[in-house]
Amino acid sequence: MRLPPDSLAHALSIAAAALGKLRQGTALPQAVDGACQGQPGPVRGAVQDLAYRATRWLGSTDWLIRTLIPRPPAEGAANLLRVALAQLLDEPPPYAPFTVVDQTVRAASADPKLAHGKGMVNGVLRRFLREQGALVAAMQADPVAATNYPQWWIDAARSAYPEAWQHILAAGNQRPPMVLRVNPRRVTVDAYLARLAEAGIDADRIGEQAVRLARALPVAELPGFAEGDVSVQDAGAQLAARLLDVAAGQRVLDACAAPGGKTGHLLELADNLEVTALESDAARAMRIRENLARLRQTADVCVGDAAKPDTWWDGRPFDRILADVPCSAAGIVRRHPDIRWLRRPADLKALATLQRDIVRALWTCLAPGGKLLYVTCSIFPTEGEAQAQWFERHLQDAIRLHAPGQLLPAAPDAAQAGGFVPGVSSLPVDHDGFFYAVFQKRP
């Protein structure tokens, strides 16, 4: 049986295939891209939404499958059930329950490998709907099922933040807002908010240059996006360029720069900056060039390893260095829910070693009196405060300056309260998790 290409059953089937790739170790964006090859844009959008919801609920759906099915089902059937159950668990539900059941059974029937199990799929989903309240209540006794994080991640968050770990995990399970950075060289925040209102787009200000949309839109529908008036960037990430305190004429290095959001922001904040944007991956370096072209900005985009300056540095010291180093990305799981399932505890130790190697190497490139900003998009102290303290002890002539330190993800309820007041508020009201530390080299 061939599924109509515009049907939910078709999208469910492809999303299940993407989830299968994720469970084999493929990052979710690449998993979705691979599963959606040859599919039109609307289908890809539907698959992406289904797959991301399923990934956020993976702990719960795994528990439900273990509880409702005596023997482990085939992986294809299990992935289809994971995607379907996630749609039934989500609030608000994206589809009517009877529609999810009907379309999931149709998806199973259309797959020769799953057709014999369509009765099992139908029975599991209908039983879940009959017993949903009791099942969800029982699920709370299992930490992984209740929080939708692996146990090691839960333990690490609880150890680091005994009073706030539940809030942190809950914030990471929310759907992220679409946040824009307004380019002050082209338009003021107030003027851009007025343009959005005129276009019927609801938005509010949540940071110095940050505007949060009430609902996500394709960038092609944003006024002035193609002309460089705005960029898409989390409000917490927008702090980086400002903390670096750039001034006209300085020589600046943006290490680990792709996709170029922070590079563009630096160039928006000061005139005549001599910026080098460093990236180890040539394909990702192309993204930097594309983003800068849209912003009508220029920088020296260089392909090289930040930990090995002798392969790319010309020997001229930098006045400012932005070290946005590779990390676990534990602070941005609301945007990348697959991270929690792909990371392993051993990754944190390896990343901490890499972070130290990069910062020590970059420190040799910094001019006396210059500043280096250390950034991770993580919530784990081993990548944040513990590293900052290590740098204080081991970087020659380093002075640690004031910076926000650990920025935890905004609570879902707090993110909606109040607003950003220029000149009064110092931090955005809705953001991902980041760590910021600034070091100055003694003159």
Q: Is residue 262 part of an annotated ligand binding site?
A: yes
Is the alpha carbon torsion for 239, 245, 250, 255 positive or negative? negative
Tokens of 17: 């295939």
| Residue 300 β-bridge partners | 276
Maximum CA extent, the chain: 74
- How many other β-carbons are positioned within 10 Å of the β-carbon of residue 199? 12
Q: Look at residues 210, 234, 226, 292 and name the one whose alpha carbon lies nearest to residue 259.
A: 292
Q: Is residue 204 part of an annotated ligand binding site?
A: no
| H or E element, residue 261 | helix 261-269
> Is the separation of the CB atoms in 433 and 427 below 8 Å?
no
The pairing of beta strand 366-376 with beta strand 318-324: parallel
Q: Is residue 357 part of an annotated ligand binding site?
A: no
Q: Which strands form 318-324's sheet, in the order they lie side by side?
A: 300-303, 274-279, 251-255, 318-324, 366-376, 434-441, 398-407
Rounded-to-integer distance, Cα 202 and Cα 415, Å: 16
Q: Is residue 279 part of an annotated ligand binding site?
A: yes
- CA of 80: how far to CAs of 60, 64, 100, in Å? 14, 13, 11
Q: Could you say which of 36, 302, 365, 377 is catalytic?
A: 377
**Which residues, 6+ apart, have CB-to-CB distance to 310 below 8 Å?**
none
Q: Is residue 203 part of an annotated ligand binding site?
A: no
Q: Is residue 170 part of an annotated ligand binding site?
A: no
Q: Is residue 36 part of an annotated ligand binding site?
A: no
Burial class (CB in 10 A: 0-12, 13-18, 19+), 39: middle
Q: Is 302 a catalytic residue?
A: no
The pairing of beta strand 179-182 with beta strand 210-213: antiparallel
> Is the separation of the CB atoms in 114 and 121 below 8 Å?
yes
Q: Is residue 441 part of an annotated ligand binding site?
A: no
C-alpha torsion 226→293→436→193, nearest 10 = -20
Helical H segments across 57-96, by residue range: 58-68, 75-89
Tokens of 25: 């170790």
Q: Is residue 327 part of an annotated ligand binding site?
A: no
Helical H segments across 322-406, by residue range: 339-342, 345-363, 385-394
Residue 299: alpha-carbon gap to chain centroid: 25
Strands (E), 115-249: 179-182, 203-205, 210-213, 230-232
Q: Is residue 260 part of an annotated ligand binding site?
A: yes
Rounded-to-integer distance, Cα 153 and Cα 287, Å: 31
Just list the catalytic residues: 377
Bind-site residues: 256-262, 279, 305, 324
Bind-site residues for S-adenosyl-L-methionine: 256-262, 279, 305, 324
